[in-house]
Amino acid sequence: MEPQRAVLLIADISGYTEYMSTHRMSLAHAEVNTARMLDKMIDAAPGYDLIEIEGDAAFLSRPAGPGGTTSADEATVAEILDVAAWMHSAFHREREYVAKNLCPCSGCKEATNLKLKFVAHVGDVATQTIRQRRKLVGIDVILVHRLLKNPVNIPEYVLMSEELYRLADPGLADKVHEITPDLEGLGQVRAFYLDVHTLEARQPALAAPSWPGRLGRTFSAAGKGMPYILGLRRPRVRTP
């Protein structure tokens, strides 16, 4: 298939390895709770297709221009930052609800230690379908994944490739910081990041969960975690 221009966005949950406790009950609840957070994040990204769940991360994409056009100039940074803000807000709202259920296990109570970071890029991709699963391939797909390993020293951020940052409004320059990571197989590249907390999500304040709501979420985590406890399902792992 002929390559197409696309926006590539990875939302990556930080602290996942430590969160996935070795205790079987905690592990089961951690897996269920992480799935709930990922679901809420994906729902908060209208117009984006979920390409794959990669363990603790969601890999999403959309055509670079409205209506499937291939103009990279129309892939505005402002829109991507809005989506990152909505996803970040949805993640934290669900994370707080998880931590406030009535289950005392570490898989529930330690959810507050999780953070969320984003890597975004615009580039050329091709589509492959293998056993009815759609995958994106190409050097730009590799690049956006390689950028997950970077020297950014704040826990929650949006990191943009140089190609994407070039499309940004010049007024964004005062908010971003430049890094030049040396990526495996790709060499040194320029990238730009900003603190995700500087973005406005425009969502209502989190309502305090009711006791029935907390109880319902507790039973939900217990029920959905049972297949992991029984060994019928295994936790997700990140795709290499």
CATH no. for residue 188?
A: 3.30.70.1230
Mean pLDDT for 191-206 is 78
Q: Is residue 158, in this structure, part of any structural domain at all?
A: yes
Note whether residue 179 is domain-resident: yes
Number of structural domains in the chain: 1
Judge whether 87 lies within some domain: yes
Q: How far is CA 65 from CA 3, 48, 93, 155, in A?
A: 14, 12, 30, 31
Residue 127 inside a domain? The answer is yes
Of residues 8 and 27, the one with the higher pLDDT is: 8
Per-residue model confidence (pLDDT) at position 84: 95
- Per-residue pLDDT, 103: 78
Encode pLDDT of 31-45 as tens digits: 888 888 999 999 999
Q: Is pTM beyond 0.85 here?
A: no
DSSP code, position 78: H
Tell me, yes or no, whether 154 lies in a domain: yes
- Higher-confidence residue of 56 and 48: namely 48
Does residue 211 sit within a domain?
no
Q: Is residue 222 part of a domain?
A: no
Q: Where are the beta strands (DSSP E) in the chain?
A: 4-14, 49-53, 57-63, 115-130, 133-137, 157-161, 177-179, 182-183, 187-188, 191-195
Nearest to 58 by CA among 110, 119, 121, 149: 119
Q: How many helices (H) and strands (E) does the chain have?
A: 7, 10
Q: Report yes or no on 226 lying in a domain.
A: no
Q: Could you give the 3-state DSSP secondary structure of residue 134? A: strand
> Contact 194/175 with Cβ under 8 angstroms?
yes
The domain in which residue 47 lies consists of: 4-199
